[in-house]
Amino acid sequence: MALLELFDEADDVDDVDEPPLRSADSAADRRRWLDELNAMQRPIDTLAGALREQLAALETEHRQKLQHCAIDWQNALNSSSFCGISGRKRRKLESLTGECRLRSTLLAEKIKNCSDYLHSFDTLIRSIQREQKRKSEEDDFLREFLLKSARHQHKKGQIGQALDTFCQLLLATGGHLSAEEMEGLADVCREKVRQTREFHERISQAVRQQLNESNSGRQNVVVHELWGQVLEDLRSECAESFEIVMQVNCDESNNTVGQSVPNCSQKHNTEQLKLLMASTICALWLHITPRGHEEFDDIKDLFFSTLDDYIETFRITNQKNCVKNVADDLEKTVRELMGNYPTVAGTKKMRKIAQRILII
């Protein structure tokens, strides 16, 4: 049954306390709500159907592979009952069995991962339902629950999990975060950047010490390789964090029906935080990337681009609000970036940015 039909039935039952919709505007607004709710069901039906078909196809193909292998073994055993299976044929059958074993293990693991992922969402919904039964506050709905979960994870030092929770929130809201949610994401990003920077400093110091004390060229090669892999992992984390922050959508024109539209001040504050976090992540990203790396120049351009956008947004917002000492606040931010990340401190672009701030 379509959602529109369900809501038509609901109207017949629950219209005692509500006056009938008479105006054209009310009818149009009601239709917009129902159209959006109905549209929510269509992609779920499509994806669920595709998932069922794909799972059935994989299951059928795997069963056929196993049956084919079993038949080959049975035929070989029946035809070789007196003299045994030849070595060549046995190796072929064992190879085929090994392939079936590998396919079975991988398929079972993929299905388990999919099942666990869906189960985690089911667990989340049931947790919210338990909270709603225990309390009657209106803020115990999914969006607020995700924010509370992210804050709890942040407080416990589970930064990776907190970022994953914000990813769910960004996906669910189309990137439209409230001011409170954006502050929470910014706090998690700051902690992630701080932890990554301190970890990089400790490990790089240990690597330098190891290289200075070691007299083995072979051992130094191994240390360099391990250090290079660690840097690649850290750069990947920076790239992921940057992508998460850039998912924040400050364009209220894409809001869904019924979603509260942020005022101009909230929009600019959200945009400021987004760009500040993006430029901070890029500064760290650039700091841990060697100058000879193929991505160094791209990351450098990305850093200055986001920093320029942040400065411009900061300037416009605070001048509109008649905030004093705008240049002082900006200078403090830039000085902090330069102090934490020497890679960007001595560049010509950074000096130009410092001069630009002075004339604001």
N- to C-terminal Cα distance for the chain? Answer: 61
What is the value of pTM for the model shown?
Answer: 0.65
HSE, CB side, 13 Å, CA atoms: give it for residue 287.
25
Whether residue 102 lies inside any domain: the answer is yes
d(CA 181, CA 166) in angstroms, rounded, equals: 9
Whether 235 and 283 map to the same domain: the answer is: yes
Whether 182 and 322 map to the same domain: the answer is: yes
pLDDT digits (tens, 9 = 90+) for 248-263: 987 654 444 334 445 5
Domain range for 109 is 32-75+93-131
8 Å CB contact between 315 and 330: yes
Number of domains composing the chain: 2
- Predicted pLDDT at 266: 64
**Along the 360 residues of the chain, how does pLDDT read in single tens digits?**
443 443 344 444 444 444 554 555 677 777 888 888 878 788 888 888 888 898 899 999 999 999 999 998 888 888 765 456 677 888 888 888 988 898 898 888 888 888 877 777 777 677 666 666 665 555 447 788 889 889 999 999 999 999 999 998 998 888 999 889 999 999 999 999 999 999 999 999 988 888 777 766 777 788 888 888 999 999 999 999 999 999 998 765 444 433 444 555 566 688 889 999 999 999 999 999 988 899 999 999 999 999 999 988 888 877 666 555 556 777 788 888 888 888 887 778 887 887 777 665
Residue at token pair 């064992």 = 94
Whether residue 85 lies inside any domain: the answer is no
* Residue 333 token pair: 């931010």
Whether 98 and 52 map to the same domain: the answer is: yes
What is the residue-wise DSSP string for 274-286? HHHHHHHHHHHHH
- Predicted pLDDT at 237: 94
Torsion of CA 214, 217, 223, 226, to 10 degrees: -170
Whether 206 and 294 map to the same domain: the answer is: yes
Whether 186 and 312 map to the same domain: the answer is: yes
Whether 308 and 179 map to the same domain: the answer is: yes
- Identify the sign of the CA torsion 240, 244, 245, 249: positive
- Predicted pLDDT at 13: 42
C-alpha gyration radius of the chain: 29
